[in-house]
Structures are given as structure tokens and as C-alpha cells.
A and B are shown apart, each in its own frame.
Chain A
Amino acid sequence: MNVPLLEAQGLKKSFGGVAALKSVDFCLMAGSVHALCGGNGAGKSTFLSIIMGIISRDAGQLKCKGELVDFQNPAQALQAGISIIEQELSPVPAMSVAENMFLGREPVNKWGVVSFKKMNAAAQKILDDLGFPLSAKQVMMNLTVAQLQLVEIAKALSYDSDIIIMDEPTSALGEKEVEQLFAAIAVLKSRGKGVIYVSHRLGEIMDISDHYTIFRDGQYIETGDIEDVDRNKLIELIVGRPLEEEFIKQNTPKDKIVLELEKLTNGELIQDISLKVHEGEILALYGLMGAGRTEIFENIFGLSREGCKLKIMGEQVHIKSAQDAIDNGLAFVTKDRKGSGLVMSEDVRANICLADLKNLGNAVKMNGKKEASAAKRMIELFSIKTASDKLKVSGLSGGNQQKVVLGKWFLTNPDILLLDEPTRGVDVGAKREIYRVMSEFAENGGTVIMSSSEIDEVLGMADQILVVRDGLISGEISRADATPQQLMHLSV
């Protein structure tokens, strides 16, 4: 057997007396994809930060191609042939794709001036080799989130590193882009590179990985070949206990129509959207990124310019603002938690109370006791892990932040929940919790409209599925008839 590309032994790290990593091992072989799995707070990010030289380790050793290394900063790691595709994108919006890819190492001509010709050609070649349908000259701010992610991937690969770390690379991608990424990974493998793949999407891990390593609560659990495990076994290992069902679904739709939308159109974005949802029903909008699902939600919730006319409980209403929507019993959990879900500079209590301030005191004086008890109720209902409701939400994990958003909306006592990609970027445990909440809400007579780009989730949770493509509804399928192939087929 040849020398591993990267080998870690007994890595330890603690922050202010709290152990984030308690002796973990890891071994990456050339020409393989190694999945790193674990829930939020398992220590994956800490581990990756140590490899990249962003933080220093307390103990343990790290070998790169057989040699002991100790990176002091990311530049050194990059030099040694390790590059990373980060979860959080950091583009320079006003620059072109090529400029972003070659940031800080722009090719120059003999006068020492940046050669845009060389740079564009080099960038275009990388994009073409990967099969990404992008032009190197496009300006970043005109790209979609999925396209930005592709640029980030191309940039990481352009360093010609031997070790490529991908931290949730698909969280913003649609199925089509994911396929392009996987094709690119296959090419990397054939060239003898090693990929460390981090994702909450277990389907992807099963599809493309050769090996897996599990961390849980900072502890190394085990390493093995992906062939020897199945999805359920993997979940068990990540969560640390045998898992019953991945999805929780106990609701049954009734006959009463709660919300009815007829031929909603908004410019080019969405056209002729009609839908009916019943009491106790979970309706899912399935589609690729950018298909128009988010826009449908935003329109229903009164966030578009003209507002939205629809029927709620058989009555015609015109929703012109989010406040109108809230007054009509709607609640909207947006896709972008940090961008439009939470006020990151404020504490858990303020965030939970945000949408219901009218009922928590009068205009002159807020009722502090009511606010505190409301926050306490929601923290208990969703078992939000926080030391106090006066802690800033920015200190919580992704899953707990999502629960704060859910708490905010449940406090308004909604009849209809709009959930746009509710499980994006949360771990298996928190996902289950969110499924449980959805199911219970519908069981108790609530109505749910959710959107998702994960087929398994749609098939697992929905009673009725609408497929959205290019701003149109391209198909409607009931739970009993739905198959993954059919959904895929309708969505592209």
C-alpha cells in the first residue's frame, strides 16, 4: 500500500476548557473520495480548520504525503497542496469570474501588469475542463448562488492541489449542478487526487465516496469502506443510537381547502401558478435551485410589489405586506436563515418574539414577562440548545438557529406554514426534529407548504407534490404515485 496523502493521528483541540476535538484520526488515500460525517458540533469544522492551518492543534500529529507538517496559516497549507471549497462563499461581487479565480495570483505580462488575456484564457480552460457552463468574463454579481458555488469549486481546483476539501459543496446546488460537480470529482479521482467530502446529504455520500470517517461530539468513531454500510447504518453511526425512521409523518389531509391560489404571475419569474392546499396537508414544491419556488412563497407572503390575491378558508383576501400575511394566519420560514430569518446581532429572546411583538405588550410598553415566557415556551417546545435566551443567536449551531426561526413563527399561532428548504444545512438530528414539528403541526389541523430540492425529503414528507420548473408548475403528483425518476424528469 502506498503512502497516504494525508494522515492525522490523535488530533486534539479545546477552546477555553471545552474540548472540541478529543483525539481524532483520519487517513486519506490518493485517488479516493473520503466522506467526513458527523452532526453539527461533531468537530468537523475544527478538524478542517486545523488541517488548513487556521487554528493550531493542542496535540497529535499531521502527516502530508508521509512528512510531518505543522501549518501556521492557510497559505502554507495551500502551498503543500491542500485546497478547500468553503461552505460560506466569499466572492468579490464586482469582479469577473476569472479575476475571482486568480485573486492574489494574477498572471502578469513582462511589464508587470496583469494580463487579462492570459487570465481569462486560463480560467476558461479550467471551467471547460470541468464542464461548467460559465464564461470567465461574466461578472460575479450577475451569477446565481449555484453558479457562484461552481466558480468557488473551479477556483479550488485551479490550484492543482493533491488534496481537495469540500465542505458542504452542494448545499446551494440543484441536481444538475450536482451532477456536474460529481463528474468533476470523478475526473479528480482518476488523476490520483484525494477528496475530503463533508456533507449532510447522505445520498450523495453513498453515491460518490469510497471511504467514510465518522466524528461525534469531537470523538473519532470509526472509519470504513462505504460499500460495507448502508444509509441507515451511517445515520446510526452519526447520531449514535439506532434510528427508527428517517422521516416522521403522521398527518392525514382532510377535505377542507385552506388556501387556494389561482394563476399567480409575477413578471418572468413565476407564471400561472395555481394551487390548493387542504387542512392537515403537507404540500411540497419540488424543483431545482432557481426554479421559482422561493418567489412563489415570497408572493404568497405579500413580499412582492403588487401583493397577492388568494383565497384563505374560502374567503378572498389581498395580501399586501408580511403583516397582512401574518394577520391571515400565515408564517414563512425563509431559505436564507442568516439573510432573512434571524437578526444575528440580537439574542434568542428578541428573535423569537420578533413576529409577534403586537401581542407581547402595547405600543408604549412591551411586556417583558410575556416576552420571557414566550421565549421559554418556544425553547422548550423545540428543545433549542442555548444556555440562556439572552445569548446572541449568532452563537448557536445551524440546527438550533433554524429552531429559533421556527419558534418565532409558532409563537404567532399560524394556520399555514410556508417552509422554504427548511432542512438546508442542518444535521440529521435537527432534521428529524423539524420533520416531527411539521408532522405534528399538520396532524393538529395545520397546513404546510414546503419546498425542497431533495427528492428523498419530498417523497418522505409530502401528501401532494408540485414540480416547479422555470417559474411554471410542470407537474402535480400525489404521494401514492410519486417516484424519484418522475420527479427528476419533470424538474429538468
Chain B
Amino acid sequence: MKIVTPAEGKENLSVKVRMIQFTQQYGIFLALVACCVFLTFANEYFLTTRNVLNILRQTSINGILAIGMTFVILTRGIDLSVGSIVAFTGVVAASLATTSSSAMVAGGPYPAIIAIMAGISVGMICGGISGLAVSRFHVPAFVATLGMLSAARGLTLIYAGGKPVPALTPEFRWIGTGNILGIPMPVVILVIVFAIAWWVLNFSRFGRYVYAAGGNPHAAKVSGINVGKIQFIVYAISGGLAAVGGMVLAARTGSGLTQAGIAYELDAIAAVVIGGTSLSGGVGRITGTLIGALLIGVMNNGLDLMGVESYYQQVIKGMLIVAAVMLDQSKNKH
């Protein structure tokens, strides 16, 4: 009998209780706003167009990875391999778009679109393999993607011969360094990816399937949903978006680096978790993920501006992750 429906409970709530509820509901968003307001006053450089675009650009890759991660975590999974896929797809695409004859795939440099398509395909295949292991062979997601984390990193080194792939065509580099109406391309890509993901999770049938398959796979299966297929697809999505992130990174740095993307999976998971998505599946919003990624970005930038050493930044980020989940847990208490 601990259930009180909102309609019954609302009348005699004090202002204080309501404020607590509001904080819990929009806590992460409020934290982001508070952070921005504080930094605006603390540092005159913070709220300049240049710096804001800078934050957005720095957030974009993690944001893109975190969006893919959200799909996976919503189905009770986890994808540890995205950092390695960033590197692998980066060198694959770079090898097709390089003008350096020693690193080039025969017949290159190919048009950027071909390099991009190849990169995304490779990412989706890597993700798909993890997905197959999870859905078909019932390997725990943690293990399947841990395997892919190692394998994809190894494949990166094998493919590139341990050396970076330099000198990418300007055409390819545009996706990392160019801009549309003054907005950097990585940010544009993040916005597009977010818009599609938002639509899919909120309005498409597949989105309904993802929430159901994560909330209760047995019930979803009995209701005619092919849960295995959904699992397979979300890992392919995560792999594909990791590839998008990988190519943006390669384009920005101008070369495909074999050491790119190390530990990126942790930031992506952090953004999802800070954004309120439950690791036990079925609960979470894609907007939360975006806010989570932005919060991490703003915090890193702010701490930089205030001259806090990067070592401390890691400690603060760690505390933020745990605090965000504590806030989420308090919501579930009565």
C-alpha cells in the first residue's frame, strides 16, 4: 500500500516537497543551467560564441557515441567497444581518403562519400557481431563487447600496420573542420543524429520495441516482439554511430590514428547514466543523454577555463556520475 497516485497525493504537498520533486525530475537539466550561469559570471570568456562553439564541438563525438549507447543500455545491454570502433573505422576511412601513397588503398584517394560509407559499414559490422553474440549466443553484453573492444583495437593496428594514416583529402576533412552557417560540422552531425534518434525512440515502432524489450524481454517476446532482432539492431546502431564519431575525429585531426578513442566508451556510458537512463533497461530518455553529454563538456571546459588541473577534472567527473545516479535512485523511494 505504498502507492499513492499523483492525483491523490498532489493536494496536500508542501512547497518544499514540490521543489524536491521538481529538482528530481529536472535535476540534470538544472545542474547544466546552474553550471552555465555560474561559469558565465566566474569567467568572462565562457559565454562567447567562440567558446560555446568550442564546447559543442568537443561534446559532439561523445554525444554521438552516447546516443548509440543509449539504445544499447535501454535494452539492458552495454557497449564497451565503441572506443576501439572509433579507431578502427577512423583508419579504414582514412586509408580510403589519404593522399599519402604509402598508406593508401589501391586506386585512392577515393571520394569522401565512399570513405564514409566504408567506415560506417565497418562500424555496423563490428557492432553487429557483438549483437549476434548477445542475441543469438546469449553471451553477456559486457563480455561480448569487451571482446570487441580488444579485437577491434587489434584489427586497427593490423590494418594500419601500427602507423597513423596521415594526409587526408580536404574533402574528407571538411566533415571535421568545415562549417555550415558558422556552425562546425561535428555539431551539425550531432544535431542530425540526435534528431533522428529522438524521433526513432519517441515515435517509431522500433522505439516502442526497444523500450519493451529492455523493460521486460519475456513479456516483449510473448507479445510477438522479436527481442533477439532488436538486440542485434541496437548494437549495429551503436557500432554505426561509433563509426560516425570515428570519422569525425579522423577528419578533425587530419589522420587516422591507431590510438584514437581510447576510453571513449567510459565517457559515453557516463553521459547516458548522468542523463537518467537506467542500466537495468527500459527506462530513459534520449534528451537526458544529450544533456548528460553537454554537462560533461561544459564541466571540462569550465574547469579548463578556471585553470583546474586535468587530474582534478577526472575526480570531479567521477563524483558527478555517482551523484546523478543517487539523485535518480531517490526518485524511486517513497
Chain A positions within 8 Å of B, measured between CB atoms, are 13, 15-18, 20, 41, 43, 45-46, 49, 301, 303, 321-323, 325-326, 332, 334, 339-346, 350, 353-355, 357-358, 361-366, 368, 386-388, 391, 395, 408
Contacts and interface: CB of A to CB of B under 8 A. Distances in A.
A17 B11 CA distance: 9
Contacts of B67: none
Given A323-B225, A341-B219, 7 more contacts: A321-B224, A344-B216, A362-B205, A366-B207, A387-B5, A395-B3, A395-B5
Contact of A346 (B7, B206, B221, B282): B282
Nearest to B9: A16
A40 B97 CA distance: 68
Nearest to B207: A366
B224 A355 contact: yes
A343 B280 CA distance: 13
B204 A354 contact: no
Contact of A408 (B12, B203, B223, B281): B223
Among A45, A49, A326, A343, max chain B CB count under 10 A is at: A343
B8 interface: yes
A345 B223 contact: no
11 contacts: A15-B1, A49-B1, A322-B224, A343-B215, A354-B212, A354-B219, A366-B204, A366-B205, A366-B208, A386-B5, A388-B7
Contacts of B219: 339-343, 354
A10 B4 CA distance: 23
A398 to B, nearest CB: 12
Nearest to B227: A322
Among B208, B219, B225, max chain A CB count under 10 A is at: B219
Contact count band on B: 35 or more
Nearest to A18: B8
B2 interface: yes
B211 interface: yes
B216 A340 contact: yes
B204 to A, nearest CB: 6
A45 B3 CA distance: 12
Interface string B27-53: 000000000000000000000000000
Among B203, B212, B225, max chain A CB count under 10 A is at: B212
B4 A350 contact: no
B4 A16 contact: yes
Contacts of A366: 203-205, 207-208
B222 interface: yes
Contact of B222 (A15, A41, A334): A334
Contacts of B278: 345
Given A303-B221, A343-B219, A346-B282, A357 B1 contact: no
Interface of B: 1-9, 11-12, 203-209, 211-212, 215-216, 218-226, 278, 281-283
Given A343-B220, A345-B283, A346-B282, A357 B4 contact: no
B212 A346 contact: yes
A34 to B, nearest CB: 21
Among A13, A17, A325, max chain B CB count under 10 A is at: A17
A332 B283 CA distance: 26
Nearest to A332: B222
B4 A18 contact: yes
A358 B278 CA distance: 27
Among B1, B5, B6, B205, max chain A CB count under 10 A is at: B1
A332 B223 CA distance: 8
Contacts of A350: 208, 211-212
10 closest A-B pairs by CB = A343-B215, A323-B224, A340-B218, A355-B223, A345-B282, A345-B215, A16-B4, A343-B216, A46-B1, A322-B224
A339 B216 CA distance: 8
Contacts, number: 113
Contacts of A46: 1
Contacts of A339: 216, 218-219
Nearest to A361: B205
B212 A17 contact: no
B76 to A, nearest CB: 11
A16 B12 contact: yes
Nearest to B212: A343
A91 B205 CA distance: 37
Contact of B1 (A43, A340, A353): A43
Contacts of B207: 366
B204 A342 contact: no
Contacts of A341: 219, 222
Given A322-B221, A323-B226, A340-B218, A45 B204 contact: no
A326 B224 contact: yes
Nearest to A408: B223
A342 B208 CA distance: 14
Contacts of A41: 1
B222 A322 contact: yes
B204 A365 contact: yes
Given A45-B1, A340-B219, A346-B282, A358 B205 contact: yes
Contact of B4 (A15, A49, A355, A363): A15
A7 B3 CA distance: 27
Contacts of A408: 223
B8 to A, nearest CB: 5
Contacts of A358: 205
Contacts of A387: 5-8
Contacts of B7: 387-388
A321 B221 CA distance: 9
A344 B215 contact: yes
A357 B222 contact: no
Contacts of B223: 322, 354-355, 408
A1 B208 CA distance: 63
Contact of B12 (A17, A354, A362): A17
B286 to A, nearest CB: 16
B205 A357 contact: yes
Nearest to A340: B218
